[in-house]
Amino acid sequence: MIPPAVARLSRVWFPSGGIAVSGVEDAHAKLIRAGFLRQSNAGMFHMLPLGHRVQDKVERLVAGHMEELLAASRVSLSSISAESLWEKSGRLDSVASELFRFSDRRDVPYLLAPTHEEEITSLTARSVKSYKELPLRLYQITRKYRDEFRPRHGLLRGREFIMKDLYTFDSSIDSALETYNDVRSVYSRIFSDMKLPVLSANASSGDMGGDLSHEYHLPMPLGEDRVISCNSCNYVVNEEVANTAISEEAAVDSPFEIWRGITKDRTKLVNVWYPKWTRPRDGGELREYTDQDINLSEVKSIVPDLDTAVEDALPFWSTAIAAETRTATEIINVVDGRLPSSLAGSLSGPTPNPSSWPSGLSPPATPLRTSALHTTSDGSGVLNLLRIRTGDKCTQCSSGHLKVERAMELGHTFFLGTRYSKPLGAMATIPPATQPSPFQMGCYGIGISRIMGAAAELLADKTGLNWPAAIAPYSCVVIPGKDADDSDAMQVCHQINSISGPEGRVVDVVLDDRSKSLPWKLSDADLIGFPVIVLLGREWREAKRVEVQCRRLGVKQSVEIADLPGVVGKLHASL
């Protein structure tokens, strides 16, 4: 039997080294310094060979689960979509600010697709003629485009990114919900195979539509979401949909604070009134609050047009009330339920309350309409405008306490129902009915390139990157020292290549045969983040022993070559 070919780093181009560390280095800077990628434009990146290997491994792992466990068929949809299709679905206006839009030479308007619900539904409407063709599972792994207002953190918030999206079509709600649960189970397996501690959280469907969705979050300090979980029950939610009923604390006799925002059309000033201090009803220490504790999701449920991206609303409001522009129309006062109800009453009326007017600005000559809101958007209870904190009691069980973590979203599942199939005509006659009915749909996304950035950020240390074995560019590197020649290194590589699992070889080994010094290679191996390093050092000539290193697990041990497959295989299974 011919042994498998051994990959050699001398045959791979990646410009690692040569970039000095400047100050505190995050994982994205390490990806650049290690030669995984380079920035092409703001929020857009070129994948170099090492980066492409990581991306390819994530894609193959995800695609395998889509096809083997869900029997999904792979498609590749065009990145260009017609604006008319998005108008037909009713989604164009709500997401217009995030779209890359252009027209062809005939002035037909198009866009670069940030997602493909419209296209896949239109395709299915034209192609599926009978309910007997259902259920249907279609997925793709492709580039997506989103004109982010502020792209940041490298691959974690880009304007061009790689995404896996799965679209499902069922003939009934029960069948569609069964599909939804099947996909959720597969998602759990995908992240488990990557050894990433992902939380599945109830979430808002947002502009996507539907009323059932879950997000898949990786807890990390750079995360842009806040995930709330209970230490006693299975309550895990995105902060946007967390139950924030006021039950455990009350405002004390202390000054209130005002946070100011503005609507997207810059016509309404939003004053958010909240207590500076609260105390638990059963006693305990005072809690102090600042603007950072405002739950903007709750405020936005009251004022849907609130522009949460604006950090300082007053310059915009100053322009809106200026005599030469005079575009301002209203002041909206949103009042936390812990504050006296009399406060809300004093803030309503044709003339703004002096305390509600921004300091440094003079009211316009013509009074603005003002309003005060102090109940939830559905009128079911008083407003809690303050964020949940770690240690708060769980609202779902009697004994649990909540933990609040910053987290990065890696995936999202949506049960769409007929949100797209109805307006786009994806339907069939399903017995015993005599008239066509729209398909029940679901859509399910995983951020391929975001997984790469998030895994790097989660596991990197001051020494370098630290990849999970399943998605590392190579899961093991063999580095020969001065007492070993190429044939010795090849012998060790073939020994590692003999490690196999139920689906074939499980360790992806590479030989570092570059003409560099041993200290340079070891430093570069740590920067690149190979999960396992096998060094042919001083003991090789005398005893045929190698040194096996695993920085993440704190392993550094001498191993007989005969025992090498078992040691490396065990480490690989743990990473």
The DSSP output letter for 435 is S
Handedness of CA 532, 533, 538, 543 (dihedral sign): positive
Integer Cα distance of 427 and 418 in angstroms? 10
What does the block give as tokens for 369? 């309409």
Q: What is the pLDDT of residue 503?
A: 46
Q: What is the pLDDT of residue 380?
A: 59
Q: What is the pLDDT of residue 395?
A: 81
User: Beta strand pairing status for 509-511 and 476-480?
Assistant: parallel
Question: Which pLDDT tens digit goes with each residue over 502-516?
Answer: 444 578 999 999 999
Q: DSSP string of 471-492?
A: TSSSSEEEEE-TT--HHHHHHH
Looking up tokens 């405020």, which residue turns up?
299
Question: Above pLDDT 90, what percent of the chain?
Answer: 62
Where do runs of H (alpha helix) occur along 169-302? 173-193, 296-302
Looking up tokens 């501690």, which residue turns up?
197
Tell me the residue type at 453: G
Calculate Rg over the CA atoms of the chain.
Answer: 28
Q: Which helix (H) or strand (E) holds 119?
A: helix 117-127
Question: Which pLDDT tens digit goes with each residue over 13-55?
Answer: 988 665 667 677 899 999 999 999 999 999 999 999 999 999 9
Q: Using CB atoms within 10 A of its CB, is residue 539 exposed (0-12), middle (13-18) or buried (19+)?
A: middle
* Cβ–Cβ under 8 Å, residues 414 and 157: no
Closest CA to 396 of 236, 281, 249: 236
User: Which residues have C-beta within 8 Å of that of residue 568, sequence separation ≥ 6?
Assistant: 476, 496, 499, 507, 532, 534, 548
What does the block give as tokens for 236? 């895990």
Domains of the chain (ranges, CATH numbers): 29-242+403-456 (3.30.930.10), 249-373 (no CATH), 474-574 (3.40.50.800)
Integer Cα distance of 91 and 100 in angstroms? 15
Q: What is the pLDDT of residue 502?
A: 43
Three-state SS at 306: strand
Closest CA to 369 of 319, 328, 322, 327: 328
Sheet holding 277-280, edge to edge: 249-251, 277-280, 287-288
For residues 141-163, one letter each, b for 16 or more C-beta atoms within 10 angstroms of the residue's C-beta and e for the rest, the string is bbebbbbeeebebbbbbbbbbbb
Tell me the residue type at 442: G
Integer Cα distance of 33 and 27 in angstroms? 10
- Per-residue pLDDT tens, the chain, 575 aa: give them: 455 678 999 999 988 665 667 677 899 999 999 999 999 999 999 999 999 999 999 999 999 999 999 999 999 999 999 999 999 999 998 888 899 999 999 999 999 999 999 999 999 999 998 999 999 999 999 999 999 888 989 999 999 999 999 999 999 999 999 999 999 999 999 999 999 999 999 887 766 666 789 999 999 998 989 999 999 998 999 988 887 656 556 666 667 889 999 998 999 999 998 988 887 766 667 888 899 999 988 898 889 889 988 889 999 999 998 878 788 888 888 888 888 777 766 776 554 555 667 776 776 666 677 777 766 655 556 788 888 888 888 888 878 889 999 999 999 999 999 999 999 999 999 888 889 999 999 999 999 999 999 999 999 999 999 999 999 999 999 999 988 889 999 999 999 988 764 444 578 999 999 999 999 999 999 999 999 999 999 899 888 899 999 999 999 999 999 999 999 999 999 99
Q: What is the pLDDT of residue 287?
A: 83
Three-state SS at 59: helix
Integer Cα distance of 235 and 399 in angstroms? 12
Closest CA to 524 of 510, 537, 542, 540: 510
